[in-house]
């Protein structure tokens, strides 16, 4: 008896298997990205899970947009778009609903000597009347980093300014429009360190202390320095050192906490280490006393200690400004687009109303995970944190900064996988379709 021959089921070809792998990777990546776009568009985000514990009005600046004002229920109350970019914002003086800010706007060629220019401004805004007043300004060419990222009120007629363009800190008399004192980074640093001609030090923050010293952030040298006007840097007070990234890594917006509030202490946005960190002065040395970090934190730019012991944090590439309580829990949060600095009105300029972490006994928070109710699993956040902690921070943060706002940092991985998959798949398909023997010489 002859048995019927059954059809044979062949194994998938190698090309089919490769295409299937690429298709699955691409599908998963697109689904993750689309899911994040939908939840963002519908407004379902981390902030919905945070309790409305923040009190008062919060003002924040966006590096690529307006100055915004939020109420305690996370509702935007107002925004101001007079300038192209806003940087520092301080309440000055306390309780007056008047803000001191720095900002930048483009200047047409007809008003300057270069092809393209920008005007850096120290301004004042009355939130009650909406009145703007330009206190001090200068025009620079639009080449390299040349903004004023911070200004601090010295007295009724003078402001201190952190000038990136000329690598200096200076005092300006707003009545006479004159610079009355300056300290230049060349007084301390050799030219063979830093970032070159057009962004050598990136000196991005200044604070005038009650005893007359001037504290400045020299970002590209990873140092916070204390300057005695007329005498120079007080060496044994310097926090951090060049390329010692375990201490500071291209920091922003440090705040000084004096002895009468539990200091001397400095709270710093340790930007490329993706954390807010505080250092306490112990036996004439700086010792780390507190740190806050979660898996979503990406390029922190500001941290203010408030009178209630809470800390207001600005997370630029995490696209959020949020408040953590004394236990390290997120209790108030708004989503933003590339925020640079935030200020809670009625709590004092920056951290001048708050106590040190040592005095408050604050526990550090460095565990993986975002706010309660996060749309991401703990595993996803841990994978992202592992990736972001080991990727080159300058490159990663530059890429994240230019991505669309609906792609948050955690979504960068599926976006990268999707892009790599498309490029690899296209390359292999091209390789399969070309008769390479006909292209080779005989």
CA dihedral for 129, 131, 135, 139, sign (positive or negative): positive
CATH superfamily of 46-360: YVTN repeat-like/Quinoprotein amine dehydrogenase (2.130.10.10)
Per-residue pLDDT tens over the stretch 317-358: 999 999 999 999 999 999 999 999 999 999 988 999 999 999
pLDDT for residue 156 is more than 70: yes
Per-residue model confidence (pLDDT) at position 316: 96
Instruction: Say if pTM beats, i.e. exceeds, 0.85.
Output: no
Mean pLDDT in the chain? Answer: 85
Q: Which residue has the higher pLDDT, 20 or 166?
A: 166
Per-residue model confidence (pLDDT) at position 51: 35
Per-residue model confidence (pLDDT) at position 218: 98
| pLDDT band, very low/low/confident/very high, at 43 (cuts 50, 70, 90) | very low
Instruction: Take residue 162 and report the two structure tokens written for it.
Output: 């952190």
Per-residue model confidence (pLDDT) at position 87: 97
Per-residue model confidence (pLDDT) at position 52: 35
pLDDT for residue 40 is more than 60: no
Per-residue model confidence (pLDDT) at position 14: 73
Can you give the three-state secondary structure of the chain, one letter per residue?
CCCCCCCCCCCCCHHHHHHHHHHHHHHHHHHHHHHHHHHHHHCCCHHHHCCCCCCCCEEEEECCCCEEEECCCCCEEEEECCCCEEEEEEECCCCCCEEEEEEEEEECHHHCCCCCEEEEEEEEEECCCCCEEEEEEEEEECCCCCCEEEEEECCCCEEEEEECCCCEEEEEECCCCEEEEEEEHHHCCCCCCCCCCCCCCCEEEEEECCCCCEEEEEHHHCEEEEEECCCEECHHHCECCCCCCCCCCCCEEEEEECHHHCCCEEEEEEHHHCEEEEEEEECCEEEEEEEECCCCCCCEEEEEECCCCCEEEEECCCCEEEEECCCCCEEEEEECCCEEEEEECCCCCCCCCCCCHHHHCCCCECCCCCCCCCCCCHHHHHHHHHHHHHCCHHHHHHHHHHCCCCCCHHHHHHHHHHHHHHHHHHHHHHHHHCCHHHHCCC
Comparing 22-31, 87-96, 395-404, which segment has the lowest mean pLDDT?
22-31
């Amino acid at each position: 008896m002859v048995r019927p021959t059954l059809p044979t089921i062949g194994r998938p070809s190698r090309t089919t298997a490769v295409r299937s792998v690429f298709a699955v990777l691409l599908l998963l990546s697109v689904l993750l990205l689309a899911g994040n776009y939908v939840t963002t568009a519908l407004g379902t985000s981390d902030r919905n899970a945070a309790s409305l514990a923040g009190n008062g009005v919060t003002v924040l600046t966006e590096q690529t947009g307006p100055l915004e004002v939020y109420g305690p229920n996370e509702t935007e109350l107002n925004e101001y778009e007079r300038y192209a970019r806003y940087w520092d914002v301080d309440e000055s003086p306390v309780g007056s609903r008047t803000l001191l800010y720095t900002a930048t706007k483009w200047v047409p060629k007809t008003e300057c000597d270069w092809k393209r220019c920008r005007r850096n401004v120290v301004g004042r805004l009355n939130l009650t009347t909406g009145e703007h007043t330009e206190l001090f300004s200068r025009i620079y060419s639009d080449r390299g980093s040349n903004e004023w990222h911070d200004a601090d009120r010295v007295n009724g007629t003078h402001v201190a300014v952190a000038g990136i363009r000329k690598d200096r800190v200076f005092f300006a008399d707003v009545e006479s429009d004159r610079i009355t004192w300056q300290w230049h980074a060349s007084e301390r640093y050799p030219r063979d360190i830093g970032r070159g001609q057009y962004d050598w030090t990136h000196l991005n923050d200044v604070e005038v202390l009650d005893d007359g010293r001037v504290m400045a952030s020299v970002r590209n040298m990873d140092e916070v320095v204390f300057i005695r006007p007329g005498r120079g840097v007080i060496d044994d007070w310097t926090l951090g050192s060049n390329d010692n990234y375990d201490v500071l890594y291209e920091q922003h917006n440090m705040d000084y906490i004096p002895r009468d509030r539990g200091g001397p202490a400095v709270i710093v946005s340790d930007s490329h280490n993706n954390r807010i960190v505080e250092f306490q002065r112990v036996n004439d040395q700086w010792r780390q006393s507190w740190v806050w970090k979660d898996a979503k934190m990406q390029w922190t730019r500001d941290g203010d200690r408030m009178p209630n012991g809470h800390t207001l944090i600005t997370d630029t590439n995490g696209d959020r400004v949020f408040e953590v309580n004394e236990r390290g829990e997120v209790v108030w949060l708004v989503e933003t687009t590339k925020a640079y600095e935030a200020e809670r009105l009625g709590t004092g300029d920056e951290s001048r109303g708050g106590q040190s972490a040592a005095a408050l006994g604050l526990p550090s928070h460095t565990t993986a995970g975002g706010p309660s109710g996060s749309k991401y699993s703990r595993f996803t956040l841990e994978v992202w944190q592992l990736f972001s902690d080991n990727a080159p921070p300058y490159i990663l943060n530059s890429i994240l900064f230019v991505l669309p706002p609906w792609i948050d940092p955690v979504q960068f991985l599926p976006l990268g996988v999707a892009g790599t998959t498309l490029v690899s798949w296209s390359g292999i398909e091209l390789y399969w379709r070309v008769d390479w023997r006909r292209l080779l010489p005989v």
